[in-house]
Structure 1
């Protein structure tokens, strides 16, 4: 995997079993991007049925700085739960890059992932990590 080659660490996609060693170092910062409509809402509600949501939820409890960049279309943004979830994440100390200065939702079906502001998420993470 490319990520393993870049970091020198095994990529973990599932929860480890009890007694298995943790293969990750302690995180200086977590970047959650792209954060989907489902992931953002599940995270706020504490529903950790997806591994990445569990990592982010635990990160809040561990006091790890977190940058989240939701990548959702403009129709999802109209759902009242999304706005409430983004606001709640911010209350929990998560830096949410959505709207001006972050991800700007596209009309449904017109997303271009290559054009998303990935550099802004990484820049925000560097600031939070003190780099």
Structure 2
């Protein structure tokens, strides 16, 4: 899988603090990881952004490129949005692509790129009706949404454990999307 390019897209949800672990696990599986952070997640990493760039060997993208700038991103073999925040879920599901992170996946799924998303938010946030509608809309568009026992099960408010986010589950699914098992 060494030629496979994975866009790992992290939103401002707790596991974004540990996205380096997601990168390492993806690289161990042979992915060339291109890391895209939404602007809030990029702020969390701002003092240590050079660490992520050294880890991936690539520029970490968090803003739209300027007109006339060359696009530094190669074509994606797959995209993984992890961890997906409740806010980004609802914006994405409503068709609001106001960040490069949401713009890439909004477009990618309709260009035939396999897209998976694993959420990270608490049960109170997940109980809002908009969330269920947006998950259904994204699934109808072909996004593999990894919630529940096979993905991430929402935690009680104020009881999340972002350091133990199940990156391996999401990466298993993404691997199957590009190399389906018989």
Fold shared per TM-score above 0.5: yes
What SS does the aligned partner of 2:148 have? Answer: coil
- Residues 87 and 64 from structure 1, CA distance in 2 versus in 1: closer, same or farther, beyond 3 angstroms? same
Alignment of 1:1-131 (within 5 A): 1-130=50-179
* 8 Å Cα contact 2:64/2:99 also seen in 1: no
* 8 Å Cα contact 2:121/2:154 also seen in 1: yes
CA-atom RMSD in angstroms = 1.4
Cα offset, 1:5, TM superposition = 2.1
Q: Which runs of 5+ in 1 are unaligned?
A: none
Cα offset, 1:64, TM superposition = 0.8
Cα offset, 1:86, TM superposition = 0.8
Q: Which runs of 5+ in 2 are unaligned?
A: 1-49
Q: Deviations over 1:14-54 (max 9, x none)?
A: 10112211111110000101101111111011111222111
Cα offset, 1:3, TM superposition = 3.2
Aligned pairs, number: 131
